[in-house]
Amino acid sequence: MTTITNHMPTAELQALDAAHHMHPFTAGAELAAKGARIITRAKGVWLTDSEGNRIIDGMAGLWCVNIGYGRKELADVAARQIEELSYYNTFFQTSHVPAIALAAKIAELAPGDLNHVFFAGSGSEANDTNIRLVRRYWEIKGQPEKRVIIARKNGYHGSTLGGGSLGGMSGIHKNGGMLAGIVHIDEPNWWDQGGDATPEAFGLARAQQLEQKILEMGVENIAAFIGEPVQGAGGVIIPPSTYWPEIQRICDKYGILLIADEVITGFGRTGNWFGSETFGIRPHIMTIAKGLSSGYMPIGGSIVCDEIANVIGGAGDFNHGYTYSGHPVAAAVALENLRIMQEEKVVEHVRDVANPYLAKKWAALTDHPLVGEAKLVGLMGSIALTPNKATRARFAGDQGRVGYACRERCFANNLVMRHVGDRMIIAPPLVITPDEIDVLIERAWKSLDECLAGLKAEGTQIAA
Ligand SMILES: *Cc1c(COP(=O)(O)O)cnc(C)c1O
């Protein structure tokens, strides 16, 4: 076989990709017919493709490249760690410096008494760990029937069987079924589902579904509630201000465990180290991954409070773990990523510079005829596309058709912006500068204009 390199013609790479590579969350045959866009290098917030185009990455990869691409410090740390200790496990009463140092650093950054880290290789794995943690906790406490986990429709918690079951996406559930003992309540998506209620009243009502579900199933059967502080893959749904305080009140009142899935919102995304700080949530467990290593290495974990760690630790073996739990190279790289974030004050940059600068321009997108609402927290944002802002109407035909068309225009204009249904979403690297934000916004406007022109050409009415 010939060596496959960056210098091969794009069409040849695409043909090999189509012949041998199965892509996640992708219609294989459709992609094979079209050919994947092949990314060859990246630096800062900029991707380069095999045709030499420079693309601004409004999604930080998959919400993960918080410090931007191509930092040499991380390459150096990885190389050093591979030479010193390329691998060792942490199963049978052994440990190693990178896992120790990273766990201690995470405990220092995490709020409250979240002082213990169980490492995984990804966010999905960490959520699988969480299912075992909360069920095991109640079993040791003498309440083994407390097994049900309440989650939310259109939540995303990964795509392993456990993570995908916690998530509330029917498309994933249909792919092979789901675990027993997980139930879903409605999401706090006011734009789509709020009807005539104010966002505040709607947020409260959606949170109160948790209480109704607990009473319906019996609190003696409920182990935990899990939610993302801000739904990411569900479309960057920033909940009304009334939502999380009510969820917290209900979890406290009934003594059920609260899991905050911080895989996206952790490590600076919302302008604090954790989204739980931004929204005033006091979780017993946090799920982390993505920004933990800025995506340079696959690593995730569960940050666990004193009570749960002590109870589980005091009751014999916890029969769970991954070969790569706390992998030394991944841990060393994550630690270096966190060092850079702290020394370069990346979270402060989001809070004091990038968010305020982007917020004005993002809000101004509602001046565009297609944009009904524009939401932003820290550096995660979404806009709702609609044919009628006043009635928050949906487009005729399949949901997501217009969002997909808009994403295609963005990609053609060298901007990565994703669509979820007819919402467009961004989550750029946290180090994005005001000048780069200008480029992102300029390309977004151009793409929206082209999308609008396309809709008009096909005869779709857009309310003035
Ligand atoms: C991405 C994501 C996950 C899954 O993480 P993987 O590393 O892809 O397994 C879990 N929860 C949330 C909120 C995510 O955004």
- In terms of domains, do 106 and 190 share one? yes
Cβ atoms < 10 Å from Cβ of 89: 17
CATH of the domain at 427: 3.90.1150.10
What residue has token string 């739990």? 325
Ligand 1: which residue has its CA nearest to atom 6? 123
Please name which of 102, 124, 158, 110 lies closest in space to residue 322, comparing C-alpha atoms.
Answer: 124
Give 446 Cα–ligand 1 centroid separation in angstroms.
31
Q: Are residues 190 and 244 in the same domain?
A: yes
* 118 within domain boundaries: yes
Using the mean position of ligand 1's atoms as its centre, give its distance from the Cα of residue 8 in Å.
33
Separation of 222 CA from ligand 1 center, angstroms?
A: 24
Name the residue of 157, 160, 327 to mutate for ligand 1: max ligand atoms within 8 A of Cβ. Answer: 157
Whether 464 is in a domain gets the answer no
The per-residue pLDDT for 106 is 98
Compute the distance from residue 290 Cα to the ligand 1 centre, in Å. Answer: 7
- 149 bridge partner residues: 182, 224
Domain boundary among 294, 317, 343: 343
Sheet containing 46-49, strands listed edge to edge, beginning at the edge strand earlier in sequence: 39-43, 46-49, 54-57, 415-416
Ligand 1 in reach of 152 Cβ (< 6 A)? no
Ligand 1 and 264: CB distance under 6 A: yes
- 127 and 80 in a common domain: yes
Cα angle 320, 119, 95; round to 5 = 90
What CATH code is carried by the domain that includes residue 315? Answer: 3.40.640.10
156 Cβ below 6 A of ligand 1: yes
Three-state DSSP at 57 gives strand
List, as one string, the DSSP characters of 386-405: -S-TTTTPPPSSSTTHHHHH
Ligand 1 close to Cβ of residue 168 (< 6 A): no
- Contact by Cβ (8 Å): 168, 192: no
270 Cβ closer than 6 Å to some ligand 1 atom: no
Q: How far apart are CA 39 and CA 180, in angstroms?
A: 40
For 32-36, the CB contacts below 8 A with 24+ separation are 35/10, 35/11
Among protein residues, the one whose CA lies closest to atom 5 of ligand 1 = 123
- How far from 110 is each of 9, 11, 68, CA to CA, in Å? 47, 47, 22
Please check whether residue 39 lies inside any domain of the structure. Answer: no
Q: Last residue of some domain: 300, 328, 343?
A: 343
Q: Are residues 334 and 422 in the same domain?
A: no
Q: What atom in ligand 1 is closest to the CA of residue 123?
A: 5
| Separation of CA 156 and ligand 1 centre (Å) | 7
Residue 64 CA: nearest ligand 1 atom is 1
User: 338: closest CA among 266, 270, 287, 394?
Assistant: 266
Asked whether 235 lines ligand 1 (CB < 6 A), one says: no
Would you say the CB of residue 232 lies under 6 angstroms from ligand 1? yes
Please state whether the predicted TM-score (pTM) of the whole model is above 0.95. Answer: yes
Examine residue 34 and state whether it is found in any structural domain, yes or no: no
Q: Domain check: are 334 and 238 in the same one?
A: yes
- Same domain for 300 and 378, yes or no, is no
What domain range is 112 assigned to? 73-343
Same domain, 240 and 322: yes
Q: What is the distance in A from the centroid of ligand 1 to the CA of 262?
A: 9
Task: Check whether residue 233 and residue 334 sit in a common domain.
Answer: yes
CA–CA dist 43, 73 (Å, integer): 13
86 part of a folded domain: yes
Structure tokens belonging to residue 292: 């933990």
The reported pLDDT for the residue numbered 2 is 63
Per-residue pLDDT of the chain (464 residues; tens, 9 = 90+): 567 777 789 999 999 999 999 999 999 999 999 999 999 999 999 999 999 999 999 999 999 999 999 999 999 999 999 999 999 999 999 999 999 999 999 999 999 999 999 999 999 999 999 999 999 999 999 999 999 999 999 999 999 999 999 999 999 999 999 999 999 999 999 999 999 999 999 999 999 999 999 999 999 999 999 999 999 999 999 999 999 999 999 999 999 999 999 999 999 999 999 999 999 999 999 999 999 999 999 999 999 999 999 999 999 999 999 999 999 999 999 999 999 999 999 999 999 999 999 999 999 999 999 999 999 999 999 999 999 999 999 999 999 999 999 999 999 999 999 999 999 999 999 999 999 999 999 999 999 999 999 999 999 999 87
CB 371 within 8 A of CB 261: no
Tell me: do 184 and 332 sit in the same domain: yes
State if residue 272 touches ligand 1 by the CB under 6 angstroms criterion. Answer: no
Protein residue whose Cα sits closest to atom 2 of ligand 1: 158
State the burial class of residue 435 (Cβ atoms within 10 Å of its Cβ: 0-12, 13-18, 19+).
exposed
- Count of structural domains within the chain: 2
